[in-house]
Amino acid sequence: MEFKEYIAGKITEAMEIIFGQSVEGVEGFLETPPNPDMGDFAFPCFKLSKMLRMGPPAIAGKLADAIASDAVIDRVECVGGYLNFFLHKSGYAQSIVERVLQQGDQYGSSDEGQGRVICIDYSSINIAKRFHIGHLSTTMIGNALYKIYEHLGYKCVGINHLGDWGTQFGKMIAAYLKWGDREQVERGGVNALVALYVRFHKEAEADPTLEDEGRLWFKKIEDGDPQAVEIFTWFKDVTLRDAKRVYDMLGVKFDSYAGESFYNDKMQPVIDELREKGLLEESQGAYVVNLEADGMPPCLILKKDGATLYATRDLAAAFYRKKTYNFYKTLYVVAYQQNLHFKQWFKVVEKMGYDWARDMEHVAFGMVSYEGRALSTREGYVVYLDELLERAVEKARVIIDEKSPNLADKDKVARQVGIGAVVFFDLFNNRIKDIDFRWERALNFDGETGPYVQYTHARCCSVLAKAGQIAAAPDYAALDNPTAQEVVRTLERFPEVVREACQRNEPSLVTRFSVELASNFNRFYYENHILVEDPAQSAARVNLTAATASCIRTALSLIGVEAPEKM
């Protein structure tokens, strides 16, 4: 039973009987009152006032008289311009709790996305650069969106649009052939590649011919010279090998690693089409699409020397994705520093006459700083993601050793808690906000943190283990008290939260929901004995506990955080 829908139906019915008018979208007007003394649902009558030429309190009064108590609705009250609905508490609790239990990990799912493909471009790391915490948000927001859309029935394609094109790779080959050796790079991984690149720049200051050598090698990559391509492909393998270790720790996967270089042979048709459509303009030897009328600087398509750009490759990639996946939407999970870039080339697609330009969305997010200080490669203030995650695991291990010295499988739990804490912290705030990563905030077991939510889940599991099987049929009157009702109301909201997180591409809604559910459950837990003398009452409270555990697990899984059963 959908309570909201039911109540909306009653209101619509009453509207027709008393006023002879029907209103659209009553369900959308229904609100959850801030305080349970005001009922389970509230219907504000203000918007009807103009149409009915009557004050909101008078409308509410008339509607209240017309809606009778029944098996679902206990009573209706009007306060000010609001119509407040009170449901029969035990029937309400029973219905929600049993729904959550019956649907299990499918709770909150739907098939609204049936037959629709969502391409998600996330993480999109750069070759020969080490994975640092600046890439955490794109990775985890993208991963969460993938799971959220999937929960709603969409088919997702996760794309790691690798930054694997540019003159720097020619320089790296030159550096490698001069000073590197295969074994050292194999052993040192991406660090060895970075070191070569740094050395190249240092030595190039004294010897400018190095730059020419770098350019030459890049040209060779472009022309498909076997040696150049072999080395370059190997650089990519080395980088991805290191990155995959991080992805494994985070539990993140991709369906495609088609990076920038993949589009080398796919740009010419786009350039030709731009030219045919009269959109390409020459500007100081380069070719651009003029966006003056749209209030933006021109979108650079070809450089003076004929080289393509980041935007050219993004254009080619968009056409490729449309053709290959026929996406319903494509999301680009990329920092807000690239706002202009996306606005520009989305506009170019629109000017080319493709209405699917509006199906592409830049899902922007803020910057990360670390312990109050902005990260800067130049100043050497970088935090590598693998190191951060390993430290998180160590710190979690220390806390667990102290809190639960007898826990089995401490290593595994420390991994789940430590990494979960980092991911949770990253996904806690509105994505557009800048984040300042702080250990004492991420790992605080009593704050609005991953460990807190995980701990609540483990607490539920331990209650369930203690309770065992209860034979008696549950008596849901045992959930008639305010704290239990609050948990029920929170559980009920989950499907709506998932839907909104999807509509707004905002995983933090799910993160925050999990904290709310956990803290409401804890309040219930402190104020009620779950296992009482009457087995029927115990059974109802145990069911509420089981539903909470299940819903927390699902919510955490949607944001890519694990839920250990014991902590």
For residue 129, the minimal CB distance to ligand ARG (Å) is: 8
Closer residue to ligand ARG in complex, CB, 4/161? 161
For residue 3, the minimal CB distance to ligand ARG (Å) is: 42
Phi/psi of residue 481, each to 5°?
-85, 160
Residues 413 and 400: their CA atoms lie apart, in Å, by: 8
Amino acid at 214: G
When asked if residue 256 is in the footprint of ligand ARG (CB under 6 A), the reply is no
- Contacts for 150 with CB less than 8 Å, ≥ 6 apart: 156
Amino acid at 269: P
Phi/psi of residue 532, each to 5°?
-115, 180
Closer residue to ligand ARG in complex, CB, 163/418? 163
Residues 426 and 356: their CA atoms lie apart, in Å, by: 31
When asked if residue 362 is in the footprint of ligand ARG (CB under 6 A), the reply is no
Closer residue to ligand ARG in complex, CB, 93/311? 311
User: Taking the C-alpha atoms of 53, 58, 60 and 64 in order, what is their torsion angle to the nearest 10 degrees?
Assistant: -130
Phi/psi of residue 122, each to 5°?
-145, 160
For residue 82, the minimal CB distance to ligand ARG (Å) is: 47
When asked if residue 124 is in the footprint of ligand ARG (CB under 6 A), the reply is yes
For residue 142, the minimal CB distance to ligand ARG (Å) is: 10
For residue 453, which of 510, 403, 368, 401 has the smallest C-alpha distance? 510
For 261, 274, 308, 357, the CA distances from 349, given in Å and listed in that order, are 21, 9, 17, 6
- Contacts for 420 with CB less than 8 Å, ≥ 6 apart: 450, 451, 454, 556, 561, 562
User: In sequence order, what DSSP letters do the residues of 334-387 get, joined into one string?
Assistant: EEGGGHHHHHHHHHHHHHTT-GGGGGEEEEEE--EEETTEE-BTTTTB--BHHH
Closer residue to ligand ARG in complex, CB, 76/289? 289
When asked if residue 161 is in the footprint of ligand ARG (CB under 6 A), the reply is yes
Residues 184 and 227: their CA atoms lie apart, in Å, by: 19
Beta-bridge partners for 44: 82
Closer residue to ligand ARG in complex, CB, 258/509? 258
Stretch that binds ligand ARG, among 121-129, 210-218, 458-466, 557-565 (CB under 6 A): 121-129
Closer residue to ligand ARG in complex, CB, 161/541? 161
For residue 162, the minimal CB distance to ligand ARG (Å) is: 7
When asked if residue 158 is in the footprint of ligand ARG (CB under 6 A), the reply is no
Helix (H) or strand (E) holding 486: helix 482-503
| Neighbour-count burial of 110, counting CB atoms closer than 10 A to its CB (0-12 exposed, 13-18 middle, 19+ buried) | middle
Stretch that binds ligand ARG, among 77-85, 102-110, 119-127, 503-511 (CB under 6 A): 119-127
Instruction: Give the one residue of 45, 148, 193, 334 binding ligand ARG; rule: CB under 6 A.
Output: 334
When asked if residue 163 is in the footprint of ligand ARG (CB under 6 A), the reply is yes
Whether the CA torsion 307, 310, 315, 319 is positive or negative: it is positive
Instruction: Give the one residue of 41, 131, 154, 332 binding ligand ARG; rule: CB under 6 A.
Output: 332
Closer residue to ligand ARG in complex, CB, 334/497? 334
Instruction: Give the one residue of 213, 314, 475, 492 binding ligand ARG; rule: CB under 6 A.
Output: 314
One character per residue 424-463, x = contact with ligand ARG (rule: CB under 6 A) = ----------------------------------------
When asked if residue 121 is in the footprint of ligand ARG (CB under 6 A), the reply is yes
Closer residue to ligand ARG in complex, CB, 98/350? 350
Residues 60, 83 contacting (CB under 8 angstroms): yes
Residues 484, 518 contacting (CB under 8 angstroms): no
Closer residue to ligand ARG in complex, CB, 263/455? 263
Residues 193 and 180: their CA atoms lie apart, in Å, by: 9
For residue 264, the minimal CB distance to ligand ARG (Å) is: 15
Residue 336: both structure tokens together: 């807000």
- The DSSP code for 126 is B
Closer residue to ligand ARG in complex, CB, 193/414? 193
Residues 79, 38 contacting (CB under 8 angstroms): yes
When asked if residue 139 is in the footprint of ligand ARG (CB under 6 A), the reply is no
Count residues contacting ligand ARG (CB under 6 A)? Answer: 8
For residue 134, the minimal CB distance to ligand ARG (Å) is: 8
Closer residue to ligand ARG in complex, CB, 126/404? 126
For residue 331, the minimal CB distance to ligand ARG (Å) is: 10
Closer residue to ligand ARG in complex, CB, 375/477? 375
In what order do the strands lie in the sheet containing 368-370?
A: 373-374, 368-370, 435-437
For residue 544, which of 135, 99, 212 has the smallest C-alpha distance? 99
Closer residue to ligand ARG in complex, CB, 314/359? 314
Instruction: Give the one residue of 49, 126, 444, 462 binding ligand ARG; rule: CB under 6 A.
Output: 126
One character per residue 456-495, x = contact with ligand ARG (rule: CB under 6 A) = ----------------------------------------
For residue 341, the minimal CB distance to ligand ARG (Å) is: 7
When asked if residue 522 is in the footprint of ligand ARG (CB under 6 A), the reply is no
Closer residue to ligand ARG in complex, CB, 330/511? 330
For residue 243, the minimal CB distance to ligand ARG (Å) is: 12
Whether the CA torsion 314, 320, 321, 327 is positive or negative: it is positive
Residues in the site for ligand ARG, rule: CB under 6 A? 121, 124, 126, 161, 163, 314, 332, 334
